[in-house]
Amino acid sequence: LQEEKGSIETMLLQHPDIELQWDVAYSRRRAVGSSALFRQLAYNLCENAVKYSKPSGALLIVRLRETENFGILEIEDNGVGIPEKDIARIFERFYRVDRSRSSEIAGTGLGLAIVKHIAITLGGEIQVDSKLGIGSRFTFTFPLTDFTRS
């Protein structure tokens, strides 16, 4: 995930009002499966958080921690949040929350569907906790393996 930090910081150059809090420590273990897919999942979640951030005082928190067998990636923001009635559908392809604002915010409604597909491909699970007007936290739980070099 450290490799992805540069991409996320580059994205944030266009949004200087968003503060990044990066809480990711080096680990000898890694996610099972493709590291490129893992980075894509993290980037998509961060991009979504930026897209729906507040106009000022926005915060993006990227946190990675480990348990004995699993890694837990959290991407949290203090953006607009997701209405409770929409939470069950946000991972569906082409689903957009609040269609009246869809024309204001670029996107196809595929980002979170891709995140869900990647999470499943990596043997993990994606969950969201969101409060309208307060923000969202996406949590990706995934299996870990020891890092070995041949």
Q: In this predicted model, what pLDDT tens digit does every residue of 74-120 receive, in sequence order?
A: 999 999 899 999 989 888 887 777 654 445 565 666 789 999 999 99
Is the pTM higher than 0.95? The answer reads no
Q: Which residue has the tokens 């450290």?
A: 2
Whole-number Å distance between alpha carbons of 130 and 25: 26
Whole-number Å distance between alpha carbons of 146 and 141: 16
* Distances in whole angstroms, Cα of residue 24 to Cα of each of 35, 73, 76, 105: 16, 9, 13, 29
Nearest to 40 by CA among 73, 66, 65, 71: 73
Q: What is the pLDDT of residue 128?
A: 97
Domains (range + CATH), the chain:
2-146 (3.30.565.10)
For residue 14, is pLDDT > 90?
no
